[in-house]
Amino acid sequence: MQSAPEDRPALADTVTGQAVTDLRPVHNAATDLRPVHDAATDLRPVHDAATDLTFRDLGVAAPICDVLEAAGIVTAFPIQALALPMALDGQDIIGQARTGTGKTLAFGIPLIERLGEPAERRPAAPRALVVVPTRELAIQVGDDLRLAGSRSGVNVVTVYGGRAYEPQIEALATADIVVGTPGRLLDLARQRHLDLSQARGLVLDEADKMLDLGFLPDVERILRLTPQQRQTMLFSATMPGEVVTLARRHLRQPTHVRAEQHDAPASVPTTEQHVFRVHQMDKIEVLVRALQADGRGLTIVFCRTKRAADQVASTLTTRGFAAAAVHGDLGQGQRERAMRAFRGGKVDVLVATDVAARGLDVDDVTHVVNYECPEDDLAYLHRIGRTGRAGRAGVAVPFVDWRDMQRWKLIDDSLGLGQPEPAETYSTSDHLFAELNIPPTARAVLPRAKRDRLGLEAEELEDIGETGRPGRDRPSGPAWTTSQPPRPARHRPAAPRRAAPRRAAPRRAAPRRAAPRRVTPRPTARRLAHPRPRMRGRHSASHRRAAGRLSRAASGAGAAASAPMPKVTHSRLSANLRHLGDLCQVLLGRLRPREHTKNARPA
């Protein structure tokens, strides 16, 4: 990684009392060796005062306030109340707040206002750039920015992988703000379709997720394509050390804004958490009962693997639930179709991997079920952050297997949940029905009277011109290769056709004689004597034994033929027959003495 420019000093030297006078700073400054989140003790906002402020009180332009008020957004959240005054002045910001607290508008409103009037913009080059880690988050951020800038004449273009290049390239010609994933942004920049030399504002949203996906090298390349004199804002729910290093390199005197106190719980207080120790063979049965809880709205079920997500979604569909799966192996059209059906209420159960665990804001998500134990506490926080957003209530239900108990103890200890030993739970446990408010009549299949959702089949599959392998944008490494748009075929003028030369008619060949039929000789007696599989007819075992006897008798036939035939008389023949009868009786007595004795005539 390159060294920091001279006009971008280290981050710890920037947290001064003058920069955060209105936010009640603490005079102690952090050293360069301490992470950014330790230096965030300088920012201790008053939540009561911040939550009472409206966007008009914060100096936001009237067209934006009118649009937000029409959408029912009037009061600013703490992160918005703290970040907007400094962001509107053009300062670099590091915003840290819980998931679901309105970070999108905290950086979106300053980007829209600092673009200026429509006549002052240069349509050929974007003036602002927002980099997000996943495609679903790019779609959501783009929709939020379009809503906020609908009366300001701002053109927001969303670019991400999985879609065709041509529509995105045409939209970039008049883009004011570009929202995209790192892989597609670098693709378009390398092909000279995206010019970032005029970008005055740059936002890195969910920077810790980019770190987890390995996108930080791509982010470094994108930052080098932008001008040095720009406003950079970095927003994230957590602040790992690598993200701190990135901020120190590329931000100019940033102010770290933290919306909650250090002693505040990491999870959202309005979310109820019920932890159950469930056996792997009984998980699906427990899940089916939990989905029949009273008052349940939209539900997200998180799985660790893509295969597990497909299996759970398929099983729930056969049980009568309107379920859909979202993961990286699905095509982009299928992923967007499932998200549209989930937002529209046609599907009320979304089974997803961690693709949907970051930044997605869907109304009426009341329950989040962790079908498998998350990898760490950060993954758990982002998963349960899909419910209880914007001050609403929610329910989080983690399933912990016996083999995941050690991992869950670490998560519980890190977050201070106070449930290191979850209760052993089965689909018939009474405490499961009591805690989740499940009716006693809940069974393994959803009753037909409650199947009121249209299902995924009711949502049309949009033809988006998918390109490349379905999946998320993969980070680039030393050998950076990405999918390219198809090149137009070169049309060469066809050569004039020449008249074919006349050929003489071929002579008729003489008719061939039929080849003599090849007769396969019959197997001889010696061949039949060899052991073969049991067959029928003349190839049976009895036939082979008889043929063997004939072959052995044939060897002595020559000598016997030369001897004279003895003369047979009636008396001699009778004697031979009596002798043969006596011999048979002797043999019969030896073989079956009991029967011979029983059937013998009395003397």
Average pLDDT over residues 186-212: 89
Q: Are residues 164 and 292 in the same domain?
A: no
User: Does residue 213 share a domain with residue 132?
Assistant: yes
570 in any annotated domain: no
- Name the domain boundary from 225, 258, 291: 258
Burial 390-420 (b: 16+ CB within 10 A, else e): eeeebbbbbbbeeebeebbeebbeebebebe
Give the predicted TM-score (pTM) of the model: 0.62
Residue 180 CA to residue 203 CA, distance in Å, equals 11
Most confident of 1-15, 130-144, 206-220, 556-570: 130-144
* Residue ending a domain, choose from 401, 436, 458: 458
User: What is the rounded average pLDDT of the residues 354-378?
Assistant: 82
Is residue 390 included in any domain, yes or no?
yes
Mean pLDDT value across residues 53-63:
89
Number of domains observed in the structure of the chain: 2
Tokens of 443: 């069974």
Residue that wins the pLDDT comparison between 362 and 518: 362
Q: Are 309 and 219 part of one and the same domain?
A: no
Among residues 176, 140, 173, the alpha carbon closest in space to that of 156 is found at 176
433-449, pLDDT tens digit by residue? 999 999 999 999 999 99
* 8 Å CB contact between 290 and 446: no
- What's the pLDDT at 336? 86
Q: Is residue 504 part of a domain?
A: no
pLDDT band at 385 (very low <50, low <70, confident <90, very high): confident
Residue 155 to residues 64, 112, 275, 564, Cα–Cα distance (Å): 14, 10, 45, 124
On whether residue 598 sits in a domain, the answer given is no
Distance, CA of 65 to CA of 73 (rounded, Å)? 9
Quote the pLDDT of residue 121. Answer: 53
177, 103, 180, 100: which is closest to 135 by C-alpha?
180
In angstroms, the CA 371 to CA 349 distance is 13
Q: With b meaning 16 or more CB within 10 Å and e meaning fewer, what string describes 23-52?
A: bebeeeebeeeebbbbbbbbbbbeeeebee
Q: Where are the alpha helices (DSSP H) in 180-228?
A: 182-190, 207-213, 216-225
Same domain, 245 and 145: yes
**What is the distance between the alpha carbons of residues 35 and 12, in angstroms, rounded to a whole number?**
8
pLDDT above 90 for 310? yes
Mean pLDDT over 252-268 rounds to: 71
Domain hosting 275: range is: 271-458
In a domain? residue 364: yes
Please choose, from the candidates 308, 263, 277, 275, the residue with its C-alpha nearest in 3D space to the C-alpha of residue 384.
275
Q: Which residues of 245-275 are buried (b: 16+ CB within 10 A; e: fewer)?
A: bbbbbbbbbbbbbbbbeeeeebbbeebebbb
Range in 106-120, 226-240, 323-337, 430-444 the model is least confident about? 106-120
> In CATH, what number is assigned to the domain containing residue 63?
3.40.50.300
Whole-number pLDDT of residue 513: 63
Phi, psi of 95 (to 5 degrees): -100, 130
Pick the range with the lowest mean pLDDT from 210-214, 246-250, 347-351. 210-214
Last residue of a domain, one of 458, 475, 506: 458
Task: Give the residue-averaged pLDDT of 240-256.
Answer: 86
